[in-house]
Amino acid sequence: MQTTSPWQRADITLTAEHDHPAAYAEVAVWAEFVHDSGATLRRPAFWDGGRTWRIRFTSPLAGGSWRWRTEADVDDPGLAGRTGELAVAEAPAPTEGPAPTEGPAGEGPFRRHGFWRMSPGGRSLTHADGTPALLVGDTAWGLPWRATEEQVRIYAADRAGKGFNAVLLMSVQPDMDARGPRDRTADEGFDVAFEDLRDGHLNDLNPAYFQHLDRLLAILAEHGVVPVLQPVFHGFGWKGLRAAGPVVEPAEYARYCRYLVARYGADPVVYLVGADGSGHEPGIEAGGREIEEWDAYGQPCGIHYRPHSRADAHQDAPWLDFQWCQTGHRGEHVPERVADMWRNEPVRAVANGEPTYEHSGARGKGAGWWQGHEAWSNLCAGSTMGVVYGAGSLWQWVLRPGEPGHEPFFVADGAGWREALDFEGSRYVGLVSRILAGLPTTDMAPSWDLALAPRGLLVPGRLYVSYAEHGGDLRIAPWSDGSIPLPYRVVDPRTGEITGSGVRAAADAPVPDPGGAPRVYLCCADWRD
């Protein structure tokens, strides 16, 4: 009998007794897990080359055991009818204080509190046990097919150290017309996930590619950085060379989404089923349905849009949890895009998934504090699922300054991925998670009428968050009904330093600040100082 712990992945290996020439495309294998309590979970298996299939399973329950049995749509005793049992350790004693935002997976918030899921009101993230969560994401789209393990260790340590807890990734190099050596260390080189992607198909899967990706994502997990996995891009892609997303047949797109759920869905993950398109591309609905059917843990699934889009495709689909707009890369603040999405019904979580990349195409564009102002402006406009940052040359994983073959508009002059890692703006975005850590952010909502502030977020009676570009007193409206808690802290969002704290004397008393610098105001009922 295998043993495991709650929220820790266990792997089960199956060996087919027969050869299956089209194993990925034509063979389906899955397993049903039944707990002593009667709880049942179903997990798909994935083909890992040769005669090998694997099932990855994580127990959301502590204690007891899970009995499992496999099924397959082929007559192969090595795949169908296999059985086993997993014993689960009791949960460790809870520890006080907020969940950490970094550190080894064995000690981090996902082991302590479970995977992310949507909040009861559908506006934000929580862990499985209800602990509030906020996605603070970076954009390293090209990491899966360009980066080495050593590079990802450098990347993950930097991003976790700054406070990031997620990263947007294209799971495959999506451009059908991109050409280069199959070498992650060579100019214009990249690894290939599907041998037939250049023809617009996803049938000929390369297991070695995904085995390498396993190792890269494991490094991210060690640092508490969650992959936001996008199957096949729909818009610009890597170099603007005909992204395959819009032309892949829905059945192939759905099958690949199921593969991602099988291979990576027993670890913390976010599914970005559509990206950089209208949201109506043929494979998106099929992929979303497949993720909903096979994801046993209710992890978030949504769409990320191109800048010129309504950002409301499939708004009422049961598989859709969030909608992410994109404001393009011209260096302009457009938080009203987020505020507009907030009004769409039925309710979905929203965020700006792609503001201007720092130094994209020109030094100084979207640079430095621009990124911090953008993050806090989007958050307070309703981006309550989280905030996202991006840097020119990092998202493509440009190997070195001056590497040929990239679109100049998106490259940071004089920078490869490593130089872009040190751009100033990333510090300010990462700090958002540090500043809000441990606060009751679940289902906070935009508030415009209780304080004279550019924007604010409110959980009535528990939490109020506001950001002011130039600081100054936060004036509470005379008609305030007491929804804004009296204890307060004033924070410099450029450093995370608390510049003031106290308890207001009355519901309409201001939060004092001398002004002249960016400030975040936090009023929380849980504080007593």
The helix (run of H) or strand (run of E) holding residue 435 is: helix 425-436
Cβ pair 341, 416 in contact under 8 A: no
- Whole-angstrom distance, CA of residue 345 vs CA of residue 347: 5
Amino acid 102: pLDDT: 38
Per-residue b or e along 482-510, where b marks 16 or more CB atoms closer than 10 Å to that residue's CB: ebbbbbbbbbbbbebeeeeeeebeebbeb
User: What pairs with residue 40 in β-bridges?
Assistant: 34
Q: Which phi and psi (to 5°) does residue 275 adopt?
A: -150, 130
Q: Which phi and psi (to 5°) does residue 91 adopt?
A: -70, 145
- Whole-angstrom distance, CA of residue 218 vs CA of residue 212: 10
The alpha carbon of 255 is separated from its chain's Cα centroid by a whole number of angstroms, namely 21
Cβ pair 380, 373 in contact under 8 A: no
Strands 487-491 and 455-459: what pairing?
A: unpaired
Amino acid 454: pLDDT: 78
Cβ pair 65, 75 in contact under 8 A: no
Q: pLDDT digit string (tens) for 29-83? A: 999 999 999 999 999 999 999 999 999 999 999 999 999 999 999 999 999 999 9
The encoded tokens of residue 2 equal: 């295998």
The helix (run of H) or strand (run of E) holding residue 60 is: none
- Whole-angstrom distance, CA of residue 387 vs CA of residue 467: 14
The helix (run of H) or strand (run of E) holding residue 68 is: strand 65-72
Domain ranges within the chain, ordered by starting residue: 2-88, 131-436, 445-524
Global pTM exceeds 0.75:
yes
* Angle value at C-alpha 42, between 37 and 43, nearest 5 degrees: 130
Binning the chain into helix, strand and coil, the percentages to the nearest 5 are: 20, 25, 55
- Whole-angstrom distance, CA of residue 263 vs CA of residue 480: 51
CB half-sphere exposure, 455, CA atoms < 13 A: 21
Amino acid 97: pLDDT: 46
Cβ pair 350, 379 in contact under 8 A: no
- Whole-angstrom distance, CA of residue 92 vs CA of residue 49: 37
Amino acid 455: pLDDT: 83
Q: pLDDT digit string (tens) for 462-516? A: 999 999 999 999 999 988 888 999 999 999 999 999 999 999 999 999 999 999 9
**154: exposed, middle or buried (Cβ count in 10 Å: 0-12, 13-18, 19+):** middle
- Residue 488's alpha-carbon distances to 185, 266, 439, 502, in angstroms, are 51, 39, 12, 6
Using CA of residue 182, residue 184, residue 186, residue 190, what is the dihedral sign?
Answer: positive
Q: What percent of the chain has pLDDT over 70?
A: 97
**345: exposed, middle or buried (Cβ count in 10 Å: 0-12, 13-18, 19+):** exposed
Say how many C-beta atoms besides its own lie within 10 A of residue 408's C-beta.
Answer: 10
Residues 6+ away with beta carbon under 8 Å from 453:
466, 467, 468, 474, 475, 521
Residues 6+ away with beta carbon under 8 Å from 133:
99, 109, 116, 124, 125, 126, 127
**Residues present in the chain in total:** 529
Cβ pair 205, 193 in contact under 8 A: yes
Cβ pair 391, 412 in contact under 8 A: yes
Cα–Cα nearest to 465, from 481, 478, 451, 480: 451
Amino acid 107: pLDDT: 55
- Whole-angstrom distance, CA of residue 178 vs CA of residue 180: 7
Encoded amino acid at 141, one letter: W
The helix (run of H) or strand (run of E) holding residue 109 is: helix 109-113
Superfamily of domain 131-436, CATH level 4: Glycosidases (3.20.20.80)
Cα–Cα nearest to 365, from 306, 432, 428, 423: 423
CATH number, span 2-88: 2.60.40.10
Encoded amino acid at 492, one letter: D
Amino acid 452: pLDDT: 86
Give me the residues of the chain with pLDDT under 70, please. 92-107, 528-529
Residues 6+ away with beta carbon under 8 Å from 11:
54, 55, 56, 57
Amino acid 480: pLDDT: 83
